[in-house]
Chains A and B, each alone.
Chain A
């Protein structure tokens, strides 16, 4: 799974029937340090995440599993809303410990 932040939303009336009723949110992938990383993508949303929320999403075919038994055509689904992130940065000997 990947970290991301909800930064917008997309509306589409003409779409595949199994996308009806699905919220399509724009997600900006972020690093554990919450820095933007890579291109924004469009996710279906299983959690009801709101604008600006920190989330994590699942990619590829597994993204549709969140909706089983319904078959929803998606390759990225928000499956969790993040409460907290703790990242322990080990200082490596000899690399100056930077970054």
Chain B
């Protein structure tokens, strides 16, 4: 999984019917210490994540194991809203 920040939403009226009712959010991958990393990804939100929140996103075919994503054309899903990130001090 990756850590990411919710930076936007995607609205698509014409889309695969199996994506009906799925909220699509734009995510910016971030490093554990909060720095933004390259790239963006559109993910199905299964936990009700809000704007600017830090989330956990799962990718690949595992994303179809996220709640409500079975047999849907989804390869990235938000599966958690982060409370705390703790990094061990590296010597």
Binding site for B on A (CB under 8 A): 6-19, 24, 26, 39-43, 51-52, 59-61, 63-64, 71-76
Contacts and interface: CB of A to CB of B under 8 A. Distances in A.
Given A24-B56, A75-B58, A12 B82 contact: yes
A16 B88 contact: no
Contact of A75 (B3, B31, B63): B63
A60 B60 contact: yes
Nearest to B87: A8
B1 A42 contact: yes
A26 to B, nearest CB: 5
B80 A15 contact: yes
A9 to B, nearest CB: 5
Interface of B: 1-3, 29, 31-32, 37, 46-48, 56, 58-63, 65-67, 77, 79-88, 90
Task: Determine chain A's interface SS by DSSP, over half rule.
Answer: mixed
A8 to B, nearest CB: 4
A28 to B, nearest CB: 9
Contacts of B47: 14-16
Q: Shortest 5 CB-CB distances between A and B: which pairs?
A: A15-B80, A12-B80, A42-B1, A8-B87, A75-B62
Given A7-B87, A40-B31, 18 more contacts: A6-B88, A7-B90, A8-B32, A8-B86, A9-B86, A11-B82, A14-B80, A16-B67, A19-B79, A39-B31, A42-B56, A51-B88, A60-B62, A73-B58, A73-B77, A73-B79, A74-B62, A76-B1
A7 B88 contact: yes
15 contacts: A8-B88, A10-B84, A11-B86, A13-B81, A16-B67, A18-B65, A24-B56, A24-B80, A39-B2, A39-B31, A39-B37, A60-B62, A72-B65, A73-B62, A74-B1
Most buried by B among A6, A13, A17: A13
